């Protein structure tokens, strides 16, 4: 698959449209106050809207492909959700002409649960808590063939493009193709450049990134590991697969996700890691679980055989796995 293949063009176009919809909804929330409200309707509208757009455009171009996606329309069809459904329909219609709310529901339901030989994995909004807080979130889309990720796209609408200009332009698109490298573009899909992981060789120089949510990973275990490896730099807490993006472009060295002690048996979803993992790997990084096993995208939505996540610049991977064993 190359940069100009229909899969890449369609996926980029769909993910960008979905990200513009999400930003429109996020910006429409009046001020920071309502972003913090427990009312989850904004994220719901954005989730459904983004999934409808991406599923519709992928299905139209690749009618034989399966799409494994996080949402379905069941809730949305409930009579007491009709206002939300109306809003979703209105937002989607600004991007793709819609004849009815029913049609939007049918696009959302192009998403299914079945893993096939060739399928797309979609998280329409990864990092919903970050989205509501006004922090990081990502539209994550990957194409998987025979268990191997061939194409990954992350749109991170609220991520600074350049760490040296943290108040500069926001919005990044990460793209990776199997065997062809990883790239960053701006949020419109222009100004493409290759990205590479950091060349840090000493664990003590490493910077860790981890979830912003204390319930999503064992931050205490991460701190203990940092001490073992003499890592003194503060860790970067960030929502969503944006963590894979900042690692792939060399800003951090390690992404750690030891399962939280409150939920030690938690199993990761394929759509939470498929796109991010190829972006890190094609930039020169390595991705396994915390026991050194490769991530299994071949069998189920839940990665039952894996435990947590470890992403590194490759160089430090074995040293970190060893420290995790102790």
Binding site for ligand AMP (CB under 6 A): 126-127, 130, 211, 213, 215-216, 239-240, 260, 263, 266, 269, 272
3-state secondary structure of 7: helix
Residue 126 C-beta: closest distance to Mg ion, Å? 4
Residue 150 binding: pick among ligand AMP, Mg ion, none (C-beta 5-8 Å cut-off by kind) = none
Residue 19 binding: pick among Mg ion, ligand AMP, none (C-beta 5-8 Å cut-off by kind) = none
Residue 216 binding: pick among ligand AMP, Mg ion, none (C-beta 5-8 Å cut-off by kind) = ligand AMP
- 135 noted as active-site residue: no
Closest CA to 126 of 156, 87, 104: 156
Closest CA to 141 of 324, 290, 16: 16
Closest CA to 126 of 150, 159, 103, 95: 159
Residue 11 C-beta: closest distance to Mg ion, Å? 17
CB 107 within 8 A of CB 95: no
3-state secondary structure of 11: helix
Give the footprint of Mg ion on this chain (CB under 5 A).
123, 126, 272
Nearer to ligand AMP (CB atom), residue 7 or residue 272:
272
Catalytic residue selected from 44, 47, 109, 123: 47
Nearer to ligand AMP (CB atom), residue 103 or residue 251:
251
Write the secondary structure of 88-110 as one string of H (helix), E (strand) and C (coil): HHHHHHCCCCCCCHHHHHHHHCC
Residue 215 binding: pick among ligand AMP, Mg ion, none (C-beta 5-8 Å cut-off by kind) = ligand AMP
CB 10 within 8 A of CB 153: no
Residue 266 binding: pick among Mg ion, ligand AMP, none (C-beta 5-8 Å cut-off by kind) = ligand AMP
Closest CA to 177 of 163, 195, 200: 195
Residue 325 C-beta: closest distance to ligand AMP, Å? 21
- 288 noted as active-site residue: no
CA pair distance 46, 88, nearest whole angstrom: 7
* Contacting residues for 116 by C-beta, under 8 A, at least 6 apart: 66
Residue 162 C-beta: closest distance to ligand AMP, Å? 22
Residue 128 C-beta: closest distance to ligand AMP, Å? 7
Tokens 């963590």 label which residue?
Answer: 243
Catalytic residue selected from 44, 66, 128, 253: 128
Nearer to ligand AMP (CB atom), residue 41 or residue 269:
269
Nearer to ligand AMP (CB atom), residue 40 or residue 118:
40
Nearer to Mg ion (CB atom), residue 52 or residue 229:
52
Q: Which residue is nearest to ligand AMP (CB)?
A: 211
Closest CA to 15 of 104, 143, 201, 110: 143
Q: Is 261 exposed, middle or buried (CB count within 10 Å of its CB: 0-12, 13-18, 19+)?
A: exposed
Q: Could you list the active site residues?
A: 47, 128
């Amino acid at each position: 698959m190359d940069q100009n293949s229909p899969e890449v063009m369609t996926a980029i176009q769909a993910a960008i449209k979905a990200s513009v919809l999400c930003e429109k909804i996020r910006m429409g929330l009046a001020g920071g106050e309502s972003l913090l409200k427990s009312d989850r309707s904004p994220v719901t509208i954005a989730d459904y809207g983004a999934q409808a757009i991406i599923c519709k455009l992928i299905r139209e171009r690749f009618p034989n492909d399966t799409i494994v996606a996080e949402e379905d329309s069941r809730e949305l069809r409930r009579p007491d959700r009709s206002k939300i459904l109306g809003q979703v329909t209105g937002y989607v219609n600004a991007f793709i002409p819609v004849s009815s709310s029913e049609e939007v529901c049918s696009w959302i339901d192009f998403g299914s649960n079945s893993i096939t030989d060739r399928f797309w994995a979609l998280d329409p909004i990864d990092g919903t808590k970050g989205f509501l807080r006004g922090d990081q979130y990502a539209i994550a889309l990957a194409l998987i063939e025979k268990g191997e990720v061939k194409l990954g796209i992350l749109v991170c609408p609220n991520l600074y493009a350049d760490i040296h200009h943290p108040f500069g332009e926001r919005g990044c698109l990460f793209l990776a193709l199997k065997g062809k490298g990883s790239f960053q573009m701006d949020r419109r899909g222009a100004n493409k450049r290759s990205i590479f992981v950091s060349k840090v060789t000493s664990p003590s120089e490493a910077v860790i990134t981890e979830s912003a949510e204390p319930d999503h990973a064992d931050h205490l275990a991460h701190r203990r590991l940092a001490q073992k490896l003499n890592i003194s730099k503060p860790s970067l807490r960030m929502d969503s697969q944006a963590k894979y993006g900042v690692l792939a472009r060399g800003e951090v060295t390690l992404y750690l996700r030891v399962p939280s002690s409150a939920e030690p048996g938690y199993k990761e979803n394929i759509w939470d890691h498929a796109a991010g993992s190829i972006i890190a790997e094609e930039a020169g990084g390595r991705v396994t679980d915390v026991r050194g096993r490769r991530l299994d995208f071949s069998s189920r939505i839940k990665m039952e055989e894996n435990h947590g996540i470890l992403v590194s610049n490759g160089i430090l991977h074995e040293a970190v796995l060893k420290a995790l064993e102790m």
